[in-house]
């Protein structure tokens, strides 16, 4: 029971912290946001890669009975799959303020990813 309380407490703290940081980011000026966005994207990418490489992949190797080739082949296949998917869906992009190509592709990608994520959550 105590463990459940800790889980709920830190889940609430994480959610409230994320909301507060998002509000602070929105209140910043446009110039400050443009400077911070590349740094925050790099931080998020590093965090996700660290979680995968240092946490999930070693756990998958142990769970699979030390079948390292199988696990790393699946990881490489996933990287190649998503690289090809990105090239097919977002073939062109631009760095201007108004860009029809990027804006048109972003919505369906987010919807597809969220639907797939929710589907997997429902199965598990």
**120 SS3 class:** helix
Name the nearest CA neighbour of 67 among 78, 58, 76.
58
Instruction: Return the pLDDT at 112.
Output: 82
For residue 90, what are the contacts with CB-CB under 8 A and spacing of at least 6?
A: 101, 102, 105, 109
pLDDT for 14-31, tens place per residue? 999 999 998 998 898 889
pLDDT for 29-79, tens place per residue? 889 988 988 899 999 999 988 988 898 899 999 999 989 999 999 999 999
pTM: 0.55
Query: Tokens in use for 122?
Result: 């429902």
């Amino acid at each position: 029971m105590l463990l459940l309380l800790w889980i709920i407490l830190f889940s609430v703290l994480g959610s409230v912290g994320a909301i507060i940081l998002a509000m602070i980011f929105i209140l910043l000026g446009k110039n400050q946001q443009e400077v911070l966005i590349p740094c925050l994207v790099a931080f998020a990418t590093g965090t996700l890669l660290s979680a995968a490489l240092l946490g999930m992949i070693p756990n998958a190797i142990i769970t699979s009975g030390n079948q390292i080739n199988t696990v790393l082949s699946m990881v490489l296949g996933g990287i190649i799959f998503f690289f090809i998917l990105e090239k097919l869906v977002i073939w062109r992009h631009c760095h201007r303020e108004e860009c029809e190509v990027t804006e048109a592709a972003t919505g369906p990608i987010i919807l597809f990813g969220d639907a797939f994520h929710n589907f997997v959550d429902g199965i598990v």
